[in-house]
Amino acid sequence: LLLRGIAKEDVERGMVLAKTGSIKPHTLFSAEVYVLTKEEGGRHTPFFKGYRPQFYFRTTDVTGSVELPEGMEMVMPGDNVQMQIELITPIAMDEGLRFAIREGGRTVGAGVVTKIIK
C-alpha cells in the first residue's frame, strides 16, 4: 500500500485504513467465545471472571478482561460461552469481527464480536 505524505514511523502494526467514519474504535463488547480443549492445544484448566488474556484482532494483540454471564463462575476448556470483554486499548471493530484469545504465546480460544457496547 502506497501512502503519500505519511512517514513510515507514523504507521504501526494493527492500524486500520478505512473511509472516514466507517469504523470506530471500541473497548467494551459482547462476544460468543469457544475455549479450546487441552487436546486442541488450549488450556488445561478453567478460567474465571476477571481473566486477562491477550485478544488478537487482525494483526494486533491487546490485553482485555473477561466478564462472565450472571451465575456463571467459570469457563471450562471446550465450552462455548457468551461473555463481555473490556479491552485496555480501543480497537477498530464492528459486529461480526473474529478474534483469537491468546495466553503465553499460544491460542487458547476463538470468538466473534456479537454486540458493541462502548
Per-residue pLDDT of 83-108, as tens digits, reads 999 999 999 999 999 999 999 889 99
**Which pLDDT score is estimated for 30?**
98
Global pTM reads 0.86
Given a cut of 80, is residue 15 above it in pLDDT? Answer: no
Q: Is residue 65 assigned to a domain?
A: yes
| Overall domain count for the chain | 1
**Which pLDDT score is estimated for 102?**
97
Given a cut of 90, is residue 113 above it in pLDDT? Answer: yes
Q: Is residue 25 assigned to a domain?
A: yes
Q: Which long-range contacts (CB under 8 A, 24 or more apart) does 75-78 make?
A: 75/33, 75/35, 75/46, 75/47, 75/48, 75/51, 76/35, 76/46, 77/35, 77/36, 77/37, 77/38, 77/42, 77/43, 77/44, 77/45, 77/46, 78/35, 78/36, 78/37
Q: Is residue 105 assigned to a domain?
A: yes
Domain interval for residue 51: 8-116
Q: Is residue 99 assigned to a domain?
A: yes
pLDDT tens by residue, 38-81: 999 999 999 999 999 999 998 889 999 999 999 999 999 999 99
